[in-house]
Chains A and B, each alone.
Chain A
């Protein structure tokens, strides 16, 4: 890093003459870069290969799946694998809609409850605030396994078994990690803004909505992406609570599909898995820039 950043004025000009070419700054930079690429590129290939292999398998005709040595590309891409796998065994359309409804609800619920709480912890002065914030941090350490069993009992007693309510209600009541993340962002904005607005007669909610939220867009994007991916991939919740196939979500459906076709029809499985993965990939690529900023900040301050 230092070699690419520092260029000392005295090295340019006459000094180069006395050193052999391979010790000149330019040559050393090139050698340095080559070494870095030699180390990083093979790893990058290994990291991207599984996803490419997934796409390739999804497009293969069934007689090219179990070929050894593996065939890198299908002889002719079978685009109808997607529609055949999607409709072969389960009503994936229905499950896709179910997953989408639950996920969108949960993202909005998390945004609402976590923005409010984070705003309180970061910007409003009140007695007991530090105590409650310590509770936020403490619950972050508590493994979900401790609460999942009593929650199951609670929701069963409420008659919520085999409904979406155990999945869709809790997100409206906050999530410690997001509260912590948003609080860190709110803290980084000068307090003078709030004070000035308050003296001008703005309410707390007006300050949050019109002044602060527009300033923390990267954090909001981070929460949206994390919440979307987490809920879209949620497997254990639906597995425990939902019995009827027509209420089921994609993650569990995909696992049922694996149980049925798991030994043979890998082209169908990869095709369906790709469709399931697609919304996650899309949201990542559209939000990537904001997202990486967001995690970087919590990473440092965490």
Chain B
């Protein structure tokens, strides 16, 4: 490294190896600049904001308040707890249904039967159609009077709830909508299933295993690293739900769908409480980090790595 720099300064021709080192730093330069300007700098700034009472845009009004924001959030702010509980509720439902549904569909679509290619596209398609257009579609589907969801329920004799208009049903509605997007997880699990050696199933067959034994003692252990990946990513994503809430419910009715990132959005960009919102963001980061570490720790009990412990 030092030799490379001195060669650069003295304008000596570089050796192939030195040339490669210089090229590496040129190659990562755009990313490195971005890291400093758009991630590293903001992370530091955000840490500083979170211990100030900064509101609005005027830097002169910034006042150091220490950990006051965090204390208020944890002990005096009922809205913070409502948002946290709502988010956990949603996240738990979305991850559980999303992972189990994706696993179920992936196993069925891994059977090499005619038509599975088309079926894979059908199950995968919704997951790429996210965004406002789809949120609006689901407002229409959840319409309590003439919506398709309640109509289909009435066909099997169930009187559908008010969904987005009901304090009790708005979170299940959002979970249901998220389950429509299991396609991305399904593709990842399918790829994992195709990596399970056929010889293991043959051996299980010879030992007289039925389909449940095969699933429990071959598929599930061999798939567990992929499932672990899917669960970790799903937890991180679901804790950050925002667009659906912004478009479909605006946190309501009441505070029934008031989720964590919606609170950050409101605090920062509607009330311009930049310091308070930064503190909120850091608590979210702590929650995500803690949950990820917890899963990493818990994974030792259920995730099986064929190549040994990593």
Query: Which residues of A are interface residues toward B (Cβ below 8 A)?
Result: 1-2, 4-6, 32-33, 36-37, 39-41, 43-44, 47-51, 53-54, 57, 65-70, 112-114, 116-117, 119-121, 124-129, 132, 135-136, 139, 141-154, 156, 170, 172-174, 179, 198, 203-205, 225, 229, 232-233, 235-236, 239-240, 251-252, 254-255, 258, 262, 266, 269-270, 273-274, 276-277, 280-281, 284, 288, 292, 295-297, 299-300, 302
For this complex, 30 residue pairs linking A to B, each with C-beta atoms less than 8 Å apart, are: A1-B198, A2-B198, A2-B205, A41-B119, A68-B145, A113-B31, A116-B30, A117-B31, A119-B27, A120-B23, A120-B24, A124-B24, A124-B27, A125-B20, A141-B289, A145-B285, A147-B42, A147-B46, A149-B42, A149-B278, A172-B30, A174-B34, A233-B132, A236-B246, A258-B136, A270-B137, A273-B136, A274-B133, A299-B187, A299-B226
Distance, CA A44 to CA B124, complexed state (A): 10
A251 to B242, CA, bound (A): 14
A-B contacts besides A40-B108, A49-B148, 14 pairs, CB < 8 Å: A2-B205, A113-B34, A116-B27, A142-B285, A143-B281, A146-B284, A148-B281, A149-B277, A152-B269, A235-B247, A255-B132, A276-B133, A300-B191, A300-B192
| B141 sits at the interface (CB 8 A) | yes
**What number of residue pairs across chains A and B have CB atoms under 8 A from each other?**
290
The secondary structure that dominates the A interface is helix
Asked if B109 is at the interface (CB within 8 A of a chain A CB), the reply is yes
| B193 CB, nearest partner CB in chain A, Å | 8
Most buried by B among A57, A144, A269, A273: A273
A154 touching B41 in the complex, CB below 8 Å, given contacts A40-B105, A116-B30, A132-B32: yes
Q: A54-B137, A147-B39 are in contact. Are A124 and B23 (CB under 8 A)?
A: yes
Whether the pair A174, B113 counts as a contact (CB closer than 8 A) is no
- Inter-subunit contact A66/B23 (CB<8 Å): no
Chain B residues within an 8 Å CB radius of A150: 41-43, 45-46, 49, 278
Residue among B119, B132, B202 with most chain A CB within 10 A? B132
Q: Which residues of B come within 8 Å of A, CB atoms?
A: 1, 16-17, 19-21, 23-25, 27-35, 37-39, 41-43, 45-46, 49, 57, 105, 108-113, 119-126, 128-134, 136-141, 145-146, 148, 151, 154, 180, 184, 187-188, 190-192, 195, 198, 201-202, 205, 214, 226, 229, 236, 239-240, 242-243, 246-247, 261, 264-265, 268-269, 274, 277-278, 280-282, 284-285, 288-289, 292
